Amino acid sequence: DLPQKVNIIEVGPRDGLQNEKSPLTIEDKVDLIDRLSKTGLQHIESGSFVSPKWVPQMANSDQVLKQIKRKKNITYSALTPNLKGYHLAKSANADAVAIFASASESFSHKNINCSIAESLKRFESVLNEAKRDNIPVRGYVSCVLGCPYEGEISAQAVFDITQALLQMGCYEVSLGDTIGVGTPLKCKQLLQLLLSQIDASRLALHCHDTYGQALANILTGLQEGIFSFDASVSGLGGCPYAKGASGNIATEDLLYMLNNMNIETGVDLSSLIKVGASISHKLNRKNQSKVGAALSA
């Protein structure tokens, strides 16, 4: 049976904007998040507390988090690679933080400049402090269906790192198809291994749509019982350390599919389409959401 309700985690303001050549101003980022807040979304990943030398696009995340008009029922979260980032996120009043690991040793080095084992040590100190502060911690695992440097990644490696993050105290782990190379059968096999020991409520899928496979992989996830999915308004996104990685599944496209399957999300498609059209216009790029392009034409 398919889930009746799905959680959508909007990652556009983070994943979507971390790779933009001409970064948005603080004002424009705040405006984007405030508009998204009015669509019914309940979780908006709003920035990253990473090194500004590594990702200058996210350097003003503290100002962004401080200036948005917060709604009570919305979680505004941010990425934190280490304790320094965690402290900055906390002082900017992030409601939740996300640590980000990788199932690929090479990607871990390129993305956060350390081995997987070293990253787990850093994350453990973030989790320990966050537990004391009552700040929920989400986990990411990148490269779950393939790596830009290593190619194939074993499902067992994904399982091991996912289990480690959950045991450390992450409330949920989001499985990242970082470069969008995954296809449904492979996705299904991975999920079946993970779900043999992990409850579906602890997993999310984070599908980049580089090869046009994101919705097919998400449908596979639904069929396996997953009910949390990351998505990015107008399909914004990419990772600066994964060459060629394009945006996440567009939130509009995900919502169109879920609405027509009578799966509840609480998000209003027509208001989201307006936000997607406006941010595409602002960034001077083609709307990457097919649904958005079709319905706002």
Catalytic residue numbers read 239
d(CA 145, CA 76): 28
Asked if 246 is part of the footprint of ligand HMG (rule: CB under 6 A), the reply reads: no
Distance in Å, CB of 40 to ligand HMG, minimum: 23
| C-alpha span between 295 and 279 (Å, rounded) | 15
147 binds ligand HMG (CB under 6 A): no
Positions of E strands within 13-157: 43-48, 75-79, 96-102, 137-142
b/e code 131-146 from CB counts within 10 Å (16+ = b): eeeebbbbbbbbbbbb
Q: Taking Cα atoms as reference points, which of 103, 290, 101, 293 lies closest to residue 209?
A: 290
What the block records as the tokens of 173 is 């782990």
- Applying CB under 6 A, does 108 fall inside the site for ligand HMG? no
**Under rule CB under 5 A, which residues in 14-33 are in contact with Mg ion?**
15
Does position 49 bind ligand HMG by CB under 6 A? yes
Q: Which of Mg ion, ligand HMG, none interacts with 49 (beta carbon under 5 to 8 A by kind)? A: ligand HMG
Cβ-based nearer residue to ligand HMG, 178 or 287: 178
Nearer to Mg ion, 15 or 31 (CB): 15
The residue among 3 and 237 lying less far from ligand HMG, judged by its C-beta, is 237
Helices (H) and strands (E) in the chain, counts: 11, 8
To the nearest 10°, report the CA torsion of 37, 39, 42, 44: -50
Does the protein bind ligand HMG through residue 228 (CB under 6 A)? no
C-alpha–C-alpha distance, residues 141 and 208, integer Å: 13
* Residue 71 found at the interface with ligand HMG (CB under 6 A): no
Q: How far is the CB of 239 from Mg ion (least distance, A)?
A: 5
Our finding on whether 177 is near Mg ion (CB under 5 A) is: no
Binding-site ranges for Mg ion (CB under 5 A): 15
Binding-site ranges for ligand HMG (CB under 6 A): 15, 18, 48-51, 54-55, 79, 81-82, 84-85, 88, 100, 111-113, 140, 142, 176, 178, 206, 208, 239, 241
